[in-house]
Structure 1
Amino acid sequence: MTLTALTVLGVRLEAAWFGPPPDQAATLVLLHEGLGCVALWKAFPQRLAELTGCGVLAYSRAGYGASDPVTLPRPLSYMHEEAREILPRVLDAANVQRAVLVGHSDGASIALINAATVVDPRVRGLVLIAPHVFTEPMGLDSIRGAREAYQSGALRERLARYHRHVDVAFRGWNEAWLDPDFAAWNLRGFIPGIHCPSLLLQGRQDQYGTHKQLDAIEAGCSGPCQVVWLDHCGHSPHREQPEVTLETIRHFVADLALKGAPPS
């Protein structure tokens, strides 16, 4: 692992690189969940690099990990802005030439928006782990539960080990999702814009979303789509079922056309 930092639009973003550099292999770009960061991927990036032979780039979005903070409240369009304005510049700053976007939860939604709207020829595929494309009552209930755990101090104490600006990290995510106007948040209109191959993974016991999330993506996307459901697994397949998740991604990446220049 090589720790580094990327500067995007004047903001310093914590980053880490695993495996070969971008001029030697394709890059799997990890996009973390709503409370994630580089460190919270744990051993997953290193294992992913070893199994696929690809480079793996993990970075903490602004407000998370050791990245610069953001001003609260976050706009309710924060995932759209990350996908359209920040992510392409992250790929530029890291000199990524051929990419597979590997997103979890909020990060998966960001990957989806990017693939559907930016149409970047560097992006050859998507791995969407527990993606959100609309809100569901049970998911919002879980987010309210997270707020209670944070206010009690237990969750805040755990997150403070990973986030330099822990209140910014938590409130930026939690308060956006629990804003009454966020109930109308919906990405269904973007899904037909996805033309690259996609791998969708979700645990059957996901506490933040039902099968309707993956069903909507599978039914609507324009490119090849593979759906994998994991038994005895909640919202974080890469932590709860790491071996199955890694092997599934390995097979998916091996089947992609990741060599050579981007198609014109």
Structure 2
Amino acid sequence: MKRHGIQIIADGKRLEACWLGPGPGQAPTLVFLHEGLGCVGLWKDFPERLVAATGCGALVYSRAGYGGSDPVDLPRPLTYMHHEAQVVLPQVLDAAGIQRAIMVGHSDGGSIALIHAGSVDDPRVAALVLMAPHVFNEDVCVAAIEQARHAYEQGDLRTGLAKYHGDNVDVAFRGWNDAWLDPAFLDWNLESFLPGVQVPVLLIQGVQDQYGTAAQIEAIERQVSGPVQTLWPEPCGHAAYRDQPQAVISATTQFLENRMKSRPPTTNASALTSRGGV
């Protein structure tokens, strides 16, 4: 499946972006929202595999300061995810002509999707597929991000990331790492947005995720207004789409089929749990 590069200008920045599969007038669109160190390239072949399984189209883009997108000034404000969700993402959807969107968010991308769905009146958003989303800070997250800083400064993490971010590598890493390790970020919390999330949500949390605990998922399950399903793949760390891609693809395909047909889901209770009908 070939990726087609498209031009996206949002919030005054040129964003690296590509399109896969059917156009927005032919099928719903999977909108891929990457993690705090991610970009178009770091999704690898997961978008192609999910498009092939679901029949949806896909928009994959790198936020400003990542991958091949325009850089941003540092330090990032501690509200950078709010800005991405409430200002940038609507412009991205407009620029790409999205008509019906399923947000596929990982980590920071999942948090951005929750802010958008919980605070922006956007009827284009039909559902959320969220891998390891955060809605508050935790000690385990801070410890893992401190380890990432050490690996970046003393190990080979910078070299690995530079293959995907190029000249943006320091902007990408410092913008994410410095914000999360700012003492003021300990009070970061998105729970006030959760009651506003009325669309169906699929939550995917690796059992061995080093960046967050089950408390993140439990808070979302408890407070969103729409129906929720949850997948706990294992063995699986922070990036379920890399560690357990087939489990994620199968769960997402089933979730979307049930959502589009508006009927109660039939799931393997040992792996996938639900609250409400999707």
| TM-score, length basis structure 2 | 0.92
Residues 136-180 of structure 1: per-residue CA shift (max 9 Å, x gap): 001100000000000014000000000021000000000000000
Task: Determine the C-alpha separation between the residues in 2 that align with 1:152 and 1:4.
Answer: 37
Task: Determine the C-alpha separation between the residues in 2 that align with 1:257 and 1:233.
Answer: 28
For residue 204 of structure 2, give the secondary structure of its aligned residue in structure 1. strand
Task: Determine the C-alpha separation between the residues in 1 that align with 2:143 and 2:185.
Answer: 14
Q: For 1:31, which of 29, 33, 42 is the aligned residue?
A: 33
The residue type paired with residue 138 of structure 1 is: V
Residues 170-218 of structure 1: per-residue CA shift (max 9 Å, x gap): 0000000000000000011111111000000000000000000000000
Whether the aligned pair in 2 keeps the contact of 1:6 and 1:94 (CA below 8 Å) is: yes
Q: For 2:239, which of 233, 236, 239 is the aligned residue?
A: 236
Deviates more, 1:206-215 or 1:150-159: 150-159
Task: Determine the C-alpha separation between the residues in 1 that align with 2:74 and 2:144.
Answer: 22
The reply to whether residue 245 of structure 1 matches residue 257 of structure 2 is no
1:218-237 pair list within 5 angstroms: 218-237=221-240
Task: Determine the C-alpha separation between the residues in 2 that align with 1:38 and 1:17.
Answer: 11
Structure 1: unaligned runs, 5 residues or longer: 260-264
Structure 1 equivalent of residue 176 of structure 2: 173
Structure 1 equivalent of residue 271 of structure 2: none
Kindly state the Cα deviation for residue 257 of structure 1 after the two structures are TM-superposed: 3.4
Structure 2 equivalent of residue 122 of structure 1: 124
| TM-score, length basis structure 1 | 0.96
Structure 2: unaligned runs, 5 residues or longer: 263-278
Structure 2 equivalent of residue 42 of structure 1: 44
The reply to whether residue 191 of structure 1 matches residue 194 of structure 2 is yes
CA RMSD in angstroms, aligned pairs only: 1.1
Structure 2 equivalent of residue 262 of structure 1: none
Whether the aligned pair in 1 keeps the contact of 2:11 and 2:87 (CA below 8 Å) is: no
Structure 1 equivalent of residue 259 of structure 2: 256
The reply to whether residue 214 of structure 1 matches residue 217 of structure 2 is yes
Structure 1 equivalent of residue 61 of structure 2: 59
For residue 177 of structure 2, give the secondary structure of its aligned residue in structure 1. helix
Q: For 1:17, which of 19, 33, 46 is the aligned residue?
A: 19
For residue 202 of structure 2, give the secondary structure of its aligned residue in structure 1. strand
The reply to whether residue 203 of structure 1 matches residue 206 of structure 2 is yes
* More relative contact order, 1 or 2 (CA 8 Å, 6+ apart): 1
Task: Determine the C-alpha separation between the residues in 1 that align with 2:40 and 2:261.
Answer: 24
For residue 75 of structure 1, give the secondary structure of its aligned residue in structure 2. coil
Kindly state the Cα deviation for residue 256 of structure 1 after the two structures are TM-superposed: 2.1
For residue 223 of structure 1, give the secondary structure of its aligned residue in structure 2. coil
Task: Determine the C-alpha separation between the residues in 1 that align with 2:77 and 2:247.
Answer: 36
Deviates more, 1:44-53 or 1:5-14: 5-14
The residue type paired with residue 93 of structure 1 is: A
1:138-149 pair list within 5 angstroms: 138-149=140-151
Structure 2 equivalent of residue 68 of structure 1: 70
Task: Determine the C-alpha separation between the residues in 2 that align with 1:253 and 1:99.
Answer: 12
Kindly state the Cα deviation for residue 5 of structure 1 after the two structures are TM-superposed: 2.6
Kindly state the Cα deviation for residue 4 of structure 1 after the two structures are TM-superposed: 2.3
